[in-house]
Each structure stands twice: as C-alpha cells, then as structure tokens.
Amino acid sequence: MPDIPRGDVASLLKIVQSNTLLNRQLSTICQLNGLTSSGVKANLQGRIVNLIQETVNARDLTRFRQIEQSIKTIRANGTASPAKSAQAYTQTMPSHSHRQQAPYYGLPSPGIHGSSANGYRGTPSQLSLQFKPSPFYEVLQPSIGPVLVCEPMQQHRNVVTIRIRASEHPLLQQASLDTSLRAMVFCAGSKDGVQEIAFPHQSEIKVNGGEIKANLRGLKNKPGSTRPVDITNALRPRPTNYDNTVELIYALTKQPFYVAVYFCKITSVQDLVTRIKSGKRIPKASVIQEITNKAADADIVTTSQVLSLKCPLSYMRLELPCRSLICSHIQCFDATSYLQLQEQGPQWLCPICNKSATFETLAVDEYVKEILTNTSSDLDQVTIEPDAKWRVPTAQNGSAGSRSRSNRFEDDDDDDDDDDLEISEVNVVGGRKMETPSRSLYGSATPTTQGGSSLPRGLGSTSGKRPAQVVVDLTLDSDDEDGPPPTKKHHTAPSTHSMHPRYY
C-alpha cells in the first residue's frame, strides 16, 4: 500500500490541534468517523488525532482521505449546524463509499495487528510485555487485545482505547463468579526486558465512561511503586455482545508508554501471611548467637537494649514477627501490616533499616515470637541483656508505675503518716480498684487545730489552685462547736445556723 504523504498528515494534525475548530465541529467530525462525540475539547481532539495516527500506521490512504475530507468540510462550513455540516460532507463523498460510513471501530482495518470488532484506539503493537513478578498476582498471557503504544504527548491530552467484548473473552464471565480472577490494566515505560508498572504521571483510566479511582502515580521517578489497576467490577459481562470501553487518558509525556489489559490470578494478603508462617525461619539459637557475638566484640561497648513489641508500621502489638534474612537488627515488623502496605504501593524495603525486604526473603523470627508468647498482650517492650536474656522493664512490671500495688507507699518519707490514712471509698473502674483517701491524708503533715475555730493554712488541693474560702459563724455558742465549722455555701437564702433564739 502507498505511504501517506507526511506533509498531508502534519497539515491535518495542525488543523485538529489548533483552536480554529469549535467543540460542536469536533463533535461532528467524531460522529462522522465513528468516534465518541461527547466530552471536552481536549478529549475530542485526542480521539481524532488518535484515529489519524492509527490510519497512518495502517498505511490506509483511502481511509485517511475520508478523514481529511470530513475535517476540511466541517471546517469550511464554519458555524453551520451539525446536521447541515454532515449533509455537506455526505454530498462530497462518492456513492460507492457510503458503506464505509458506519462506525469505523466496527470495521476490520487492513494492516493493523489484532484489529477487530473490539476497535482498539491507539497504536497497536505486536509486542508481548513482560512485567516483574509479584506475590499478589500472576499475569495470565496473552493480553486482552494487543499492547497499545501511547505516543509522546508533550502539549495536549491523548486517549487510547481498548474495547472488550465479553463473548470473545470467556474469562470475563468466569471473573464475575471467581473473585480471585481479575481483569487489570498494566502500563510500562519501555518495551524491552522485564518491566516495572509505570503509568504516565498525568493520567486517568475510564471504563464504560466511568472513572476508576486508583493511584496511578506512585512515587516520583520510581517505577514499580504503584500497582496495576483492577477494572473487573466496572466491566459488563452481559450482554455478551456489549463492547466495554477501557480508556487511558494521559498528557505531558516525553516518552512512549505501553498499555495492555491482562487477566490475573490474585493472591490475598491472608494467604501470603499463611505462606510466611509455614515458610522460612530465623532460629532462636542464631539470634542469641548474634547478640552474644556483638557483646563479645572488644571494639563495641554493649549494654542492654530495648526491643519494641509494636510494629513500626501499624503501632500495634506484633502478631507474626518477621524481617528479611539480610537484616542485621532483631527488631521485627508485623507480616500482615507490611504486606498490606506493599499491596498498595510496592517498594519492598525494610521499614527499620531500609534494606531490600522482598517477599522471598521474609522469615519469622522465633526469638521474638517466643517473647510475644510468654508476655501479656498489653506489654509494649522488653529489655534484652548482652547475654541475650530478656526481661520485662521495671516501669511496666506492676499496675502502679514502676512499683507494684502492694509497695505503693513504701517510699514515703514519714512512716508515721501511714497511720493517718483512712480509706473512705473504694471504686471499681474497669476491674481495677481505685482507692479514695479521706481528708486526713492531705493534712497529715500539719495537725488540725483543736477547737474547730479554724483550719490549717496548708489544707487544700496540691494542684496549685487557690483553696476555697472558709467562713466561721461567730453567732454559735462554744457548746455548739463539737466539730469543724461547715463551709459556707454561696446562695441567696439566709443561713439557718445564724438564727439563734436570742434574736427573737
């Protein structure tokens, strides 16, 4: 087939990408060429440019001239209505070509690998991408349709589209019943060798017109820090003749990207944790040997060290303590928390020493596991001695700070003050007894003044607040002073204690 003149292609692309065409003109061009006619201006331009590039790659000169004629005709009609513009375009076409005005994506295109009723938008490629294996999924070859090439797009947005018909992919019906079988969108920044997952920095995925919420960016300049996008629930397995559309919309790219859809067999985090439980081990004896070897090193001054029983990722107590076989520390992280983090944004780095900690190198630490088994669930840390023996820190041994409840008052300076302690009330809160001492406990350092006419100056709260004012009723006889005078309450009613019979 003859090549399409490059000058004609560049001229046509310049018309489409310029601002000379209105939105409704672009929409009409899309309708005439079998493209989706809804969306913003950038989307409409991207679809037309994509169609032109596809036709050029197929070296289909006849089809290119049809697209060229439709664009120039609609442009020449200016502000005419879409119906009149379409009619004008129809009149310019020879009668024998009317059969080709059906949606182009439904017709086979000679020279395009894999083109069929699926109607792929983009530059189809005969490539078969190979991605770095992951413990979370197994890629089932071949891909659903060909690999599409996302051409560099430094100034405008572009769209590549894959159409998936359920009748042509029996696994799509099976995926609606088997939750471990998923359809996922993969993307790579190169076609050579084993690839990491990498999407264009500014991109989004739509399936059947609906946006898929997913993290496509990952970490900047770190391919492989994101995951393929699961689109299974957005696909429609029925009716079987329905064309599902999968669109990758991207912009501002300086390099080509390669996108494809694969069926994958998924492995859950719980299943992977089970594998770790029955997999590699770091024996207790080897951990003890490692600790004692460091203590025996004359160049290292060793002291006791604190081992946290909490996961550095979730800050919860460890359930399955593990670490990489290449890690030199005894601090562990929880297997479930670590795998959940890697499932969302795979980096496979130890959260403690930042060394590589791939799934294959993860192992259960039996030394730490034994400590967890032999300590209470509310214990946060233990102390490891240079001889590898561990003990519970004093601060966590007991229910009252660093001392047990029975020794709570053994360090008081004045032993005689214990005789003045009176327990006035015992409250049980959460299964623990809270003892409320009586007033004599606070005044034990200063004796109460006899006679009850006043209270000691030191009486009051130890919190630093000003003590409540004490009012003494002087109208009472000395015979009535059997105890300390009551504290005057602030209210408007007169005090009944001040109404002595002699005033009547």
Q: 11 pLDDT exceeds 60?
A: yes
Q: Yes or no: say if 144 and 169 are a contact pair by the CB < 8 Å rule.
A: yes
Q: What is the per-residue pLDDT for 5? A: 87
Please state the length of the chain: 504
358-372 average pLDDT score: 96
| Burial status of residue 290 (CB atoms within 10 A of its CB: 0-12, 13-18, 19 or more) | middle
How many other CB atoms sit within 10 Å of the CB of residue 92?
Answer: 11
Say yes or no to pLDDT of 152 above 70.
yes
Of 104, 124, 112, the closest CA to residue 35 belongs to 104
- pLDDT of residue 424 exceeding 50: no
3-state DSSP call for residue 137? strand
Compute CA distances 176 → 18, 170, 263, 339, whole Å: 44, 11, 12, 26
pLDDT at 141 over 80: yes
Residue 254 phi, psi (nearest 5): -105, -5
How far apart CA 318 and CA 351 sit, in angstroms, is 14
Q: What is the mean pLDDT of residues 49-57?
A: 86
Domains detected in the chain: 6-94 (no CATH), 123-267 (2.60.120.780), 271-396 (3.30.40.10), 405-441 (no CATH)
Distance, first Cα to last Cα, the chain:
129
Q: What percent of the chain has pLDDT over 90?
A: 38
Give the start-end residues of each E strand in 81-223. Answer: 123-125, 130-131, 137-140, 147-150, 153-165, 181-188, 194-195, 202-207, 210-211
Gap between the Cα atoms of 183 and 237, Å rounded? 12
Q: Kindly tell me if the per-residue pLDDT of 297 is higher than 90.
A: no
- For residue 78, give the DSSP letter: T
Structure-model confidence comparison of residues 35 and 368, the more confident one: 368
CA–CA separation, 319 and 339 (whole Å): 13
Residue 55: pLDDT above 60? yes
The residue with greater pLDDT, 111 or 207, is 207
Contacts for 488 with CB less than 8 Å, ≥ 6 apart: 469, 470, 471, 473, 495
Using alpha carbons only, give the angle 46, 250, 143 rounded to the nearest 5 degrees. 100
Per-residue confidence (pLDDT) for residue 334, from 0 to 100: 98
Check residue 125 and give its pLDDT: 59
Contacts 24+ apart (CB under 8 A), 143-147: 143/186, 143/260, 143/261, 143/262, 144/169, 144/183, 144/260, 144/261, 144/262, 144/263, 145/114, 145/118, 145/120, 145/260, 145/261, 146/113, 146/114, 146/120, 146/260, 147/191, 147/258, 147/259, 147/260
Least Cα distance to 128 among 118, 139, 113, 143 occurs for 143
Cα 69 to the chain's mean position, in Å?
A: 49
**Per-residue model confidence (pLDDT) at position 275:** 96
Question: In 3-state terms, what secondary structure has residue 448?
Answer: coil
Helix (H) / strand (E) containing 214 = none
Q: Tell me: the pLDDT tens digits for 228-259?
A: 999 999 999 888 888 899 999 999 999 999 99
Scored b (16 or more CB within 10 A) or e, 267-287 reads bebeebbeebeeeeebebeeb
Q: Are 12 and 2 in contact (CB under 8 A)?
A: no
> What pLDDT score does 486 carry?
53
Residue by residue, DSSP assigns 408-445 as TTTT-S-GGGGGG--EEEEEEETTEEEEEE-HHHHTTT
Asked whether residue 180 carries a pLDDT value surpassing 90, the answer given is yes
Strands 281-282, 362-365: pairing is parallel
What whole-number distance in Å separates Cα of residue 475 and Cα of residue 306?
67
Structure tokens given for 287: 């951990």
What crossing angle do the helices spanning 61-77 and 82-92 adopt, rounded to 10°? 140
- Name the least confident of 150-164, 360-374, 433-447: 433-447
Check pLDDT > 60 for residue 93.
no
Among 225, 249, 126, 244, CA closest to 175:
244
Alpha-carbon distance 96 to 452, whole Å? 121
Does the pLDDT at position 413 exceed 80?
no
**Could you tell me if 115 and 124 are in contact, meaning their C-beta atoms sit under 8 angstroms apart?**
yes
Q: What is the pTM of this model?
A: 0.56
